[in-house]
Amino acid sequence: MTLTSLLAEPNYTATPRPASPADLSFTQMLDQRQMRLRSRRMMLVLSKLIEDHAASVPGTFLIAAFQRYSLYQKQLRRYERLARDCAQIFVMGLPDDEAPAIPKVEYLPLEETWPLIHEWVVIASGPACCIALFACDNELAQPERRSRNFRALWTTNTHLVDSAVAAFYSAMGQRPPHIMHDGLATYHTTVALQQELPVRLRESRRAHSCARR
């Protein structure tokens, strides 16, 4: 698997701004032909990498769709740490578990009939960071069932990331933050992420192999 196959410059499909969270779907903004099948393990590696880079540069907003809060609960301490360094974090999911109050973390509970219930999304946008992972459960499983395969795409395309952020805030009924991307700083963040991704994938495969022995 090459880095090029993981990072794509997707075509953007213009869609009306969602009037509410019930209408919001990030993956419907993408050209479905460019989305590739990814495992849960791959998704976890990509998600954590994006989250880490979001927290590594100041002023970054992080938007994460977990499908359900019970999955977020397993990452709670991690998100407490991320919130200290991010400008703001939004967490979405089916409210099947508690979502404790954390400074700078805002929750958006999802309903089972909403498109987002089948999506795994991590968006990091700020002056020096512009990265997003968009994925949809390949089996459209019920929320209580853990999905194994996703159709996914991750990108550093500024126009697409900004459009996704604008769509999210539109659905929330809020004005989006005014984010001026620093081209050079964003480039350096992207390069650092691209260099680190193969290392983390190798570590993940090694850990998975050891766990199966």
CA 29 – CA 25 distance, rounded (Å): 7
The pLDDT score that the predictor gives to residue 11 is 53
List the chain domain ranges: 3-8+25-212
Helix (H) or strand (E) holding 71: helix 69-73
Distances in Å between the Cα of 193 and the Cα atoms of 51, 151, 167 are 11, 21, 25
194-206 tens-digit pLDDT: 899 989 988 888 8
Which architecture, in CATH terms, is 3-8+25-212?
2-Layer Sandwich (3.30)
Distances in Å between the Cα of 168 and the Cα atoms of 18, 60, 62, 81, 115 are 8, 15, 11, 23, 13
The pLDDT score that the predictor gives to residue 146 is 62
The pLDDT score that the predictor gives to residue 139 is 73
Token pair recorded at residue 180: 């001026």
User: In the chain, pLDDT over 90 holds for what percent of residues?
Assistant: 57
List phi, psi (to 5°) of 66.
Answer: -100, 0
DSSP string, 168-210: HHHHHT-PPP-----HHHHHHHHHHHHHHHHHHHHHHHHHHHH
The residue among 36, 68, 70 whose CA lies nearest residue 138 is: 36
Give residues with Cβ within 8 angstroms of 52, minimum separation 6.
none
Which residue has better confidence, 9 or 33?
33
At 132, which amino acid appears? Answer: A
Asked if residue 127 lies in contact with residue 114, where contact means CB atoms within 8 angstroms, the answer is no
The pLDDT score that the predictor gives to residue 142 is 61
Give residues with Cβ within 8 angstroms of 43, minimum separation 6.
120, 133, 135, 150, 152
Place of tokens 């539109």: 170
For residue 47, pLDDT over 90 is answered with: yes
Q: Burial of 172 by CB count in 10 Å (0-12 exposed, 13-18 middle, 19+ buried)?
A: middle
The pLDDT score that the predictor gives to residue 20 is 84
105-138 tens-digit pLDDT: 999 999 999 999 999 999 999 999 999 999 998 7
The pLDDT score that the predictor gives to residue 207 is 76
Is pTM beyond 0.85 here? yes
152-206 tens-digit pLDDT: 998 999 999 999 999 999 999 988 888 999 999 999 999 999 899 989 988 888 8
The pLDDT score that the predictor gives to residue 4 is 38
Q: What is the mean pLDDT of residues 68-76?
A: 91
